[in-house]
Structure 1
Amino acid sequence: MSRTDPMLIDVGRLRMMIADVLIGNGAGVDDAQCQADILIEGELREQPSHGVGRLPVLVGRLRRGLIVSGATITPRWLTEAVVAIDGGRSFGPVAARGAIDAVIDRAGTSGVAIALVNNSNHIGMLAPYVERIAADSAIGLAFTTSEALVHPWGGTAPMVGTNPIAIAVPTAEAPLVLDMSTAAVSMGKVLDHAARDLKVPLGWGVDADGRPTTDASALASGALAPFGGSKGYALAIALECLVGVLTGSALGPDVRGTLDAEFPATKGDVFMAIRLDRLGLTEMLPRVSAYLDLVRASGRRGAVSIPGDRARGTRMRRATEGIPLSSRTWSALLDLHREVAHA
């Protein structure tokens, strides 16, 4: 096997190693396992930009006190159906888990519930959170903000976050799951290309001088393009303002702490659950399933998929076969694991 070949790592082994590294750097067992689970989900769904490669930054943030394990997470119900959550600088997935628990529980009585989260760290992929809501026969929505990495339509300076959005709609079978960034690509993917000395496609973004580039390292110092031109930019800045207003988080260039190990996290997260049974809408589920099957059948066999289909298939395959990691990522994980093993 060459150094560029991916290595297949057993999921259980990888999860244990990530948790060991976090625990060895001061995280509690439950927090470490929660964070490890969301990094594993990124890898299982073929999104390494939200996977193991983020571990060194998480470790750096732990060591500098920018992540507080065992933090006091404070919920404050603003209305019967809206809760504001101060994450206390906790691991992002830990605060998000509390937010999801809260909206699922409250939506069981009110029909709709919203959680507004600030003062917590990067939460990883959004899909697992909305899928958990959908498993409770509810529509799940999630929005989050990031550092200003995207240039506005017509500009070249990074002024807007990648601002992902996720929606899960339950059906009579597997849910429809949308999880997408409002940038042409995630910065994590650009950094992954840079680490492996790979070129990026033209159109992903511009360098620090505002020139279109295929150099991943140059792009990492420049700005990502919004997806879909002016429409993607419009959606991104609308989400920036929506999350900022609701959570009181920073906006644009003032958002920090999801990619670095230097600054407190100042982004915000919004989660929503809409319980279909409480609204008398469960009879729609078979109709949605039938419609999605009609869409799948509209093209050549296997050519048309529904959001969530491919990620679900990849997840099942990797859970059995193992997770492919680049030699660089595997070596970095081994180094971190040796540090705590010999401490």
Structure 2
Amino acid sequence: MKTSDIRLPAREMTEFCAALLRAAGARPEDAEGVSEHLVSASLAGHDSNGIALLPAWLEQAGRQLVNLDSKEHVLTETGILLRVDADGGWGAPAASRLIERAGAKALEHGLAAATLGHAHDLGRIGAYGEQAAAAGLAALLFVNITGQPPVMAPFHGSDARLGTDPVCIAFPATTHRSSFVLDMATSRISLGRLKIAAARGQDIPPGSLINEHGMPTTDPSGMSEPVRRGALTPMGRHKGYGLALACELLGGVLSGGGTIQPEHPRGGAVRNGMFAILINPAMFGEADWMEHEIEALATYALASPPMDWDSPVLYPGDPERALRGKRLREGVPVSAELVEALNAAAAAKGCTARL
């Protein structure tokens, strides 16, 4: 937290964001879903996917890059299959509805596969993994990114050709262990982390970025918007590159939303496609044995002596849970500049709410 940051209560932030979205033309149910998603991301410490996104999303809605009157329609539905087209509408409410509907199928039949196409920015993908886990389901989520220029180079490539396509894997909690939620970009560092470093004039870890000449650099300033020069590098070299292509195939092709290849328009707003597999663990084995095995595995992994005693081994999802508890108690740190920008947006929209 910077000394210039302001701490705000989560409820106040949620109510303000919802009021601002309604003033911008969002339907009440969409305004509620988007605001809850953004504040939840901020609470979990994913600030670049939190309310910091709202000014850009409002600007995109003003340019009709979000369909405020979207009508989701089902392309295919069977007992275990669901394909939904979001019609360019807000991503977070559409994705949450998809997980809820497909999750009901998985609870009944053991598993379900679902896709969501033509959705505006889904935001933090881990939220949908948490939603599935809270319903007692395991989830595998693959998301592709279109609608804006690429930001990540393929392995052995020297310019941007892909997005930082995220992957999320989640597993429900046991009696003594919180849910497992692995949520990661396929780039070595996320675009959000790079933006924060650029805004603060900080270097990024070596090997995370190449410049416009394809050479390694630690200076993120060249990737500042609106013109980006350079590219992020894939996580795990060929592994992150392969996973990003897999996200394009699964999230882009199966959803019908298309991939990042340049035949599709890049209007300047993120478009996401998602492929989800939801699994009911209760139909795959004896519950007590599963619970013992999960707990024994977690205990074994977390007992590894840390290389740095200030950074112990953690279970995926624990950092977000810890920070969420802290920020619910103490408030969410928000920069004075962001508060000013959001209040200015509210004034411009005729919204009386202020942070």
Query: TM-score, normalised to structure 2's length?
Result: 0.88
Segments of 5+ residues of structure 1 without an aligned counterpart are none
Question: Which residue does the alignment assign to 2:135?
Answer: 136
Separation in 1 of the partners of 2:167 and 2:302?
23
Instruction: Summarize the Cα distance change of 1:81–1:20 in structure 2 as closer, same or farther, 3 Å threshold.
Output: same
Q: CA RMSD in A?
A: 2.3
- Separation in 2, partners of 1:175, 1:67: 33
Equivalent residue, structure 1, for 2:302: 296
Q: Of residues 319, 323, 333 in structure 1, which corresponds to 2:332?
A: 323
Q: Which residue of 1 aligns with 2:245?
A: 237
Name the residue aligned to 1:127: 126
Q: Secondary structure at the match of 1:332?
A: helix
Post-superposition offset of 1:164: 0.5
**Separation in structure 1 between the aligned mates of residue 190 and residue 35 of structure 2, nearest angstrom:** 20
1:1-343 alignment runs, 5 A limit: 5-147=4-146, 148-172=150-174, 173-220=177-224, 221=228, 222-254=230-262, 262-263=267-268, 266-283=271-288, 284-299=290-305, 303-341=312-350
Rounded to whole Å, the distance in 1 between the matches of 2:268 and 2:7 is 34
Against the structure 1 CA distance between its residues 21 and 311, is the aligned structure 2 distance closer, same or farther, given a 3 Å change threshold? Answer: same
Q: Which 4+ runs in 1 deviate beyond 4 A?
A: 263-266
Q: Name the CA distance, whole Å, in 2 between partners of 1:78 and 1:126.
A: 23
- Cα offset for 1:256? 7.4
Deviations 1:234-274 (A, max 9, x none): 222222222223112322344978xx8x4575431112210
Check the 8 A contact 1:141/1:166 in 2, yes or no. Answer: yes
Hey, what's the Cα distance between the residues in 2 that align with 1:185 and 1:282? 37
Distance 1:266 1:333 in 2: 23
Amino acid across the alignment from 1:200: I
Q: Distance in 1 between matches of 2:67 and 2:255?
A: 20
Aligned residue pairs total 339
CA shift for structure 1 position 121:
0.6
Cα distance in structure 2, aligned partners of 1:133 and 1:281? 20
Asked whether the equivalents of residues 162 and 186 of structure 1 are also in contact (C-alpha less than 8 Å), the reply is yes
Return 111-120 or 66-75, whichever deviates more. Answer: 66-75
Give me the whole-angstrom Cα distance separating, in 2, the residues matched to 1:266 and 1:5: 33
CA distance in 2, matches of 1:341, 1:193: 33
Residues 43-81 of structure 1: per-residue CA shift (max 9 Å, x gap): 111111111221112101211222123521112334431
Counterparts of 2:297 and 2:270, CA distance in 1: 41
Relative to structure 1, is the Cα distance of residues 333 and 218 closer, same or farther in structure 2, using a 3 angstrom cutoff? Answer: same
Q: In structure 2, give the amino acid aligned to 1:285.
A: E
Q: 1:254 to 1:102 in 2, by over 3 A?
A: farther
TM-score, normalization by structure 1 = 0.91
- State the percentage of identical aligned residues: 28
Contact 2:118–2:272, Cα closer than 8 Å, also in 1 = yes
